[in-house]
Amino acid sequence: MNYFPAEIIRKKRNGLPLSGDEIGFFVRQYVAGKIPDYQMSAFLMAVFFKGMNRQEMVALVESMKNSGSVLKLDDVDGFKLDKHSTGGVGDKISLILAPVLASLGIYVPMISGRGLAHSGGTLDKLEAIPGLNTRISLHKFREILLSAGFVIAGQTEELVPADRKIYALRDATATIESLPLVVASIMSKKLAEDLDGLVLDVKTGKGAFFPDKNDALQLAGNLITVGKDFDVNVRALLTNMDQPVGMACGNWVEVVEAVDCLTGNGPQDTMTEVFALATDALQIAGIGWPETDMQAKLQDAIDSGTAMEQFLHYVKMMGGDTRVLEKLSRYALVKPVVVKAERTGFVAELDARQIGIAAMLAGAGRKNAEDIVDPDAGILLKVKIGDFVRAGEPVAELFSNQPDLSQVVAAVQEAVRIGDKKPEPYQLIFGEISPEGELIISK
């Protein structure tokens, strides 16, 4: 049947549901270059304003997933699970979680992305390790997965080309926050990995892409139900992104913190989140240990050094220099610039978005997709919400190769609000999310 792009756009613009065939046609023709960017832009804006129902989202995920090659991992003898975060600041969880799960026998194939604006990217962090290249073929992806038990790499040319093209347009047309388009982008890539299960770290708060908790819950509910439609077991945690995860925000500084976590010296909040997601992963995989045993097994993966060994094996296979990870002082950062507290009191706010913007201004992130990041750039926080600090004491260290950091210093000082009263304890994990997008378990 012949379809006309303008008619499909008009139908969605008027709020009418599209058929799976119409959506498939639009995606295929766009990837083939037969529908121009301006028509896809109009379609994206129509979806942004009119939304999509569940059937439309499933059809969009299916057509985007099948726009290129799909991994075939049928012969992998084990449970295949990925983790996805909806984006945040200081979020190095994947670098820790993947080797921990691999050390317990779960295979973790992970297609990750780069940072944009205030949100950091896993690939940028990994590429701060000298020699490591996240651009690998599907053949190499498979080889590393089978050998190391996990692989974190970038999206290849063959894998989900529709998402690569559409995401660039979404960024340029201010349609990034469209819930159906977010669902399609995430799930098309994850389903192309031939997964058995998926754990989601859905972030809400100042530094999240969905700062409103209700929007974040709705997103999670849709991701869970779409996964169910493709026979993938999905579980989601709602986590707090009012302040950064851990103490390090940037590239190399986050690699260092990840290594600290894998060697038993990481910040408590980072490890709490890693263990919570890992527990969900083990439950999805059908591992029947009681939860107390799971915590003990996870801790043993750290204490025994097996998780760190998995990470080093992965880094070596990706071309990275493992010597700098075994002796971190081999790879020195630039001299830090110290940001000091402007008054005495309790840290009442540590605005994650502002810290992310400051890291970007230092060179750790991108204003535009084509910008090149500085692997040395980053922020090392010295305080968290609730800490007491005296005027003149350090609240952060800045690392950058830029000559003038006055704007970065100002952004950090703006992010750290100090008050007279100690705030309520910071809640890191709000709870589990149901397929209906409801908070069902208080953590």
Q: Give the catalytic positions in this structure.
A: 84, 163, 170, 185, 189
Asked if 210 contacts 86 with a C-beta cutoff of 8 angstroms, the reply is yes
To the nearest 5 percent, what fractions of the chain are helix, strand and coil?
A: 45, 15, 40
Amino acid present at 420: D
- Give CA–CA dist 219/213, Å, rounded: 10
Name residues whose C-beta falls within 8 Å of residue 162's C-beta, 6 or more positions apart in sequence: 27, 30, 31, 63, 64, 67, 68, 188
Alpha carbon distance 7, 43 (integer Å): 10
- In the chain, the amino acid numbered 40 is M
Do 67 and 28 meet the contact criterion of CB atoms below 8 Å apart?
yes
Q: How far apart are the C-alpha atoms of 228 and 221, rounded to whole Å?
A: 11
- List the Cα angle 155/89/219 in 5-degree steps: 65
Please answer whether residues 40 and 30 qualify as being in contact, where contact means their C-beta atoms are separated by less than 8 angstroms. yes
CA-CA distance, 303 to 18, in Å (whole number)? 53
Question: DSSP code of 57?
Answer: H
Q: Are the C-beta atoms of 270 and 428 separated by less than 8 Å?
A: no
| Closest C-alpha among 75, 98, 88 to residue 281 | 98
Pairing of strands 150-153, 108-111: parallel
Give the CA distances from residue 310 to residues 52, 156, 267, in Å, rounded to whole numbers and listed in that order: 41, 23, 21
Rg (CA), the chain: 22
